[in-house]
Amino acid sequence: MQKPLLTLLLALWPVITLSDGAAGQIRLVLQITVDGLRGDLLTRYTDSFGDGGFRRLMEGGVWYTDAHYLHASTETVVGHATLATGAHPSQHGMVGNAWLDRTTGALGYNIEDLAAPILPVAGFGGQGKQLDPAQAIAQAGGRSPRNLLTTTFADELFKSTGGQSRIFAVSGKDRSAVTMAGHVGKAFWMSTSTGAFETSRYYYDEYPGWVAEWNTRRPADAAVGTAWELSGPPESYLLADNDDRPYEMDLRGFGRTFPHPYDAPEDGLYYSQVLLSPLGDELTADFAMAALKAAELGQDAFADYLSVSFSGVDAVNHFFGPSSLENEEIMRRLDRTLAALFDDIDRAVGAEHVLIVLSADHGMPEMPEYMAEQGFATARNTNGALKDALNETLLQDFGIEQAVAQFFRPYLYLNDAAISAAGADRRTVERAIVEDLEARDGIAIALPRDPFPDQVDHQLAPLIRRSFHPQRSGDIYVAQAPYSFLFDEGAVAVMHGSPWAYDTHVPVIFAGPGIDPQTVARRVATVDVAVTLSNLLGVSLPASAAGQVLSEVVR
C-alpha cells in the first residue's frame, strides 16, 4: 500500500518544489482593487493600454475573464471585505455600505466606530462636502475594522510570521482601505473634505512623520485653476461620441463634457472632483508608494502586504456611466498610473519578489436611459416613494401606521410594533408587500427573510441568502430588474448593487514569481482570491473563507 503512495509523491515532487520555491521568492503581495471595474472593460480598452499597466498583468499573469461575486449586494465595502476574507457577506458581516441599527433605529455606516475617532490633520480645515450617501451617514464618526466579523488574508499573513509581516492599505475611500487592512494592518484614505490622507486612532495615536510630510505638500491642490482634459486626440477614443448625454450628471459646474473645470477648495466640492478624476488615482498611488518606502515593505525575508484601491473609475461611472468618454479616459490614465506604480515597486523591491493580484469590488450597470435608447425596458424607482406608497397601501388594507420603518436599499425594515398594534399577521403583511412590489415595473423580486415557497427556486435566491446576516440585514430584500434603477434621486446618475451579471462580473488576475501567463475563461468566484493567496503563501485560510484554490496559480 505504501509503494503507490511513494510513487505519487515522487511524481509530484517537481511541482511541489516549484510552487514552494516561487512562494519563497515573494517579499511583497500587492493587491490592486479597481473600484467599479466591470469585467468587460479591460477587453474593451485593450488597444489603448500601454505595455506596463493593465497589459503587464493581462499578458504576463493568469487572467480569469469570467470571475463573479456570488452575493447579491454588490457594494463597495461588501466587495472589498469579500476579497479580503474569502468569505460571503453572510459570514464577514459587511452586508452593505450602511445598515439599520435596530436598537437605535438609526442607519449606521459600515466601518463607523466612535471609539476610534479620525485623527485631525494639522493645518487642514474641513471645507469639502460629502457626496457619498453611505459615508455621509457617519461623517463625524470614527473608523475601524471592528464590524468585520472574520479574519482577512492580511491578518493570517501577519499571524503566520509572528507579526513580522507589515500590512498597509491605501484608498480614496475609507471603507476600501479599512477592510483590506484587516484587523492588524494600517489603513489610510483620502478625505474629500481636505484632500489629505487620513487615518483613525484605531491605527495611530498621531500621524507618522512621513504622512505629515506628504500631507504638508498638499498635492491634492495641484488641480486648482485647471481642468480635467483628454490626454489624446478625440478621434483616438472608442467612445468619442459619448461625451454629452442628457442623463449624465453635472457635479455643480464640473460639466458633462471635456474639459471638466475644477472648483476651488473653498467652494466645497473640489476634493470630490479630484476623486472623480485621474488625479485622485495618481494621489492614491503616490501615497501608497510613500508608505512602501517609509515602512520598507518587501525588504526582508518576511512577505509584506500592500493593498491599493483606486476609486476613480467607480466615481466616474456613478456620474457619467461606464459607457462614457469619461470612463474611457480615466481607464487610460489609470493604466499609466499603474505602470508608473509597478515600475517604482520593481525598483524598490524587485519584480521577481512581487506578487500582484488585481480585481474589483463590483461592476456597474449602464444608465437606464442609455439602455432605453437601445430598446431595452427600464424603470427608475426611488426608496422614499416606494416606502410611502407601501405604507399608504398597508394603512388602507390592514390599518397599520408606518408598517415600513425604513427602506435603505436593498432592504425594507418592517415596524414590528406597528404591525402587532394593528393586530395584523406579519406573514400576511409580508406577502402583501411582496405582491405589491413585484407588480411594479423595475422590480425583479422582493424576498423576505423566510422566503415564500414559490420564491425558493428563484435564480437570485442563493445570491440574496449569501448577502444576509441576521443581525444586520433588513426584513425584505428588494432586487431591481435588469438595468432598472432603485435609489433615491439626486445623489448619483446610476448605481451598482444588484445581483445581475453586470454588477457581479469583475476581472481577477494573478501575476508574479512562478505564475505562467494564460487567459482562463472558466467561471471562478471572488471568494477564491483570498484562499488562493493563503495557499500560495502557505498561511492559514481566513476563518470564514468559502472559496477554492485557483489551480492555475497554485500548482
Both 472 and 508 in one domain: the answer is no
- Count: domains in the chain: 2
Q: Is residue 491 part of a domain?
A: no
- Do the domain assignments include residue 550? no
Q: Are residues 169 and 271 in the same domain?
A: yes
Residues of the chain with pLDDT under 50: 1-20, 127-128
- 86 and 137, same structural domain? yes
Is 162 in the same domain as 310?
Answer: yes
- Please identify which residue in the block is written with the cell numbers 475594522: 145
Burial 28-63 (b: 16+ CB within 10 A, else e): bbbbbbbbbbbbbbbebbeebbeebbbbbbbebbbb
Inter-CA distances, 238 with 235, 242, 329, 367, 420, Å: 8, 9, 10, 18, 58
Could you tell me which of 464, 417, 411 has the C-alpha nearest to residue 433?
411
Helix (H/G/I), strand (E/B), else coil: 58? helix
Q: Domain check: are 174 and 305 in the same one?
A: yes
Could you tell me which residues are beta bridge partners of residue 189? 171, 198
Whether the full predicted model's pTM is greater than 0.75, yes or no, is yes
440: in domain: yes
Residue 4 lies in a domain: no
- Asked if residue 398 and residue 300 are part of one domain, the reply reads no
Position 5 scores a pLDDT of: 39
Is 456 part of a structural domain of the chain?
Answer: yes
Measured CA to CA, the distance from residue 343 to residue 52 in angstroms comes to: 8
pLDDT tens-place string over residues 123-150: 786 544 555 655 555 555 799 999 999 9
Look at residue 200 and tell me if it is in a domain: yes
Instruction: Establish if 13 belongs to a structural domain.
Output: no
The residue count for the chain:
555
**321 & 391 share domain:** no
21 inside domain? no
Domain CATH number, residue 519: 3.40.720.10
Same domain, residue pair 76 and 166 = yes
The domain in which residue 212 lies consists of 27-365+502-537
Same domain, 308 and 386: no
CA angle 128-130-134, nearest 5°? 165
pLDDT of 453-502, one tens digit each? 999 999 999 999 999 999 999 999 999 999 999 887 766 889 999 999 99
Are 168 and 117 members of one domain?
Answer: yes
Q: Do 359 and 389 sit in the same domain of this protein? A: no
What the block records as the C-alpha cell of 511 is: 501575476
Chain-centroid distance of CA 379 in Å reads 25
Please tell me whether residues 386 and 260 are part of one structural domain.
no
Say what the pLDDT of residue 126 is.
Answer: 54
Residue 488 confidence (pLDDT): 76
Residue 456: CATH number of its domain: 3.30.1360.150
Residue 543 to residue 549: CA distance in whole angstroms? 15
